[in-house]
Amino acid sequence: MSLPADFLWGFATASFQIEGATKQDGRGPSIWDTFCEIEGKIAHGANGDVACDSYNRTAEDIKLLKELGAKCYRFSLSWSRIIPLGGRNDPINQKGLDHYVKFVDDLLEAGITPFITLYHWDAPDALDKRYGGLLNRTEFPLDFESYARVVFKAIPKCKNWITFNEPWCSSILAYSTGYFAPGHTSDRTKSPIGDSSREPWIVGHNLLVAHGRAVKVYREEFKPANGGQIGITLNGDYTYPWDPEDPEDVKAANRKIEFAISWFADPIYFGKYPDSMLEQLGDRLPTFTDEERALVQGSNDFYGMNHYTADYVKHKTGAAHEDDFLGNLETTSYDKNGNCIGPETQSFWLRPNPEGFRGLIVWLSKRYGYPPIYVTENGTSIKGENDLKPPEILNDEFRVKYFHDYAHALAKAVSEDGCDVKGYMAWSLMDNFEWAEGYETRFGCTYVDYEGGQTRTAKESGKQMKGLFDSLIKND
Indicate whether 2 belongs to any domain. Answer: no
Indicate whether 344 belongs to any domain. Answer: yes
Per-residue confidence (pLDDT) for residue 246, from 0 to 100: 98
Indicate whether 1 belongs to any domain. Answer: no
Residue 303's nearest CA partner among 258, 349, 268 is 268
How confident is the prediction for the chain on average, in pLDDT?
A: 98
Active-site residue, from 145, 199, 292, 377: 377
440 among known catalytic residues: no
Residues 6 or more apart whose Cβ sits within 8 Å of residue 251: 315
Confidence of residue 37 (pLDDT cuts 50, 70, 90): very high
Indicate whether 336 belongs to any domain. Answer: yes
Per-residue confidence (pLDDT) for residue 417, from 0 to 100: 98
| pLDDT at residue 476 greater than cutoff 90 | no
Indicate whether 449 belongs to any domain. Answer: yes
Range of 285's domain?
8-472
The enclosing domain of 83 has a CATH number of 3.20.20.80
Active-site residue, from 145, 166, 385, 437: 166
| pLDDT at residue 401 greater than cutoff 80 | yes
Distance of CA 85 to the CA centre of its chain: 24
Per-residue confidence (pLDDT) for residue 475, from 0 to 100: 85
CA-CA distances (angstroms) from residue 328 to 259, 321, 367? Answer: 10, 8, 22
pLDDT tens, position by position, 231-279: 999 999 999 999 999 999 999 999 999 999 999 999 999 999 999 999 9
166 among known catalytic residues: yes
Per the CB < 8 A criterion, the answer to whether 118 and 149 are in contact is no
Domain count, the chain: 1
Mapping DSSP onto H, E and C, the string for the chain reads CCECCCCEEEEECCHHHHCCCCCHHHCCCEHHHHHHCCCCCCHHHCCCCCCCCHHHCHHHHHHHHHHHCCCEEEEECCHHHHCCCCCCCCCCCHHHHHHHHHHHHHHHHCCCEEEEEEECCCCEHHHHHHHCHHHCCCHHHHHHHHHHHHHHHHCCCCCEEEEEECHHHHHHHHHCECCCCCCCECCCCCCCCCCCCCHHHHHHHHHHHHHHHHHHHHHHHHHHHHCCEEEEEEECCEEEECCCCCHHHHHHHHHHHHHHHHHHHHHHHHCCCCHHHHHHHHHHCCCCCHHHHHHHCCCCCCEEEECCCEEEEEECCCCCCCCCCCCCEEEECECCCCCECCCCCCCCCCCCCHHHHHHHHHHHHHHCCCCCEEEEECCCCCCCHHHCCCCHHHCCHHHHHHHHHHHHHHHHHHHCCCCCEEEEEEECCCCCCCHHHCCCCCCCCEEEECCCCCEEEECHHHHHHHHHHHCCECCC
Indicate whether 225 belongs to any domain. Answer: yes
Indicate whether 349 belongs to any domain. Answer: yes
Indicate whether 3 belongs to any domain. Answer: no
Taking residues 34-58, what's their average pLDDT?
Answer: 98
Per-residue confidence (pLDDT) for residue 466, from 0 to 100: 98
Q: Cα separation of 363 and 274, whole Å?
A: 15
Go through the chain and tell me how many residues it has: 476
> Burial level of 194, CB count in 10 A (0-12/13-18/19+)?
buried
| pLDDT at residue 71 greater than cutoff 90 | yes
pTM above 0.95, yes or no: yes
**Pseudo-torsion of CA 467, 469, 470, 472, nearest 10°?**
130
Per-residue confidence (pLDDT) for residue 78, from 0 to 100: 99
CA-CA distances (angstroms) from residue 174 to 136, 255, 262, 290, 426? Answer: 15, 22, 19, 28, 24
pLDDT tens, position by position, 108-157: 999 999 999 999 999 999 999 999 999 999 999 999 999 999 999 999 99
Q: Cα separation of 82 and 87, whole Å?
A: 11
Per-residue confidence (pLDDT) for residue 384, from 0 to 100: 98
Confidence of residue 451 (pLDDT cuts 50, 70, 90): very high
Residue 366's nearest CA partner among 443, 241, 283, 262 is 262
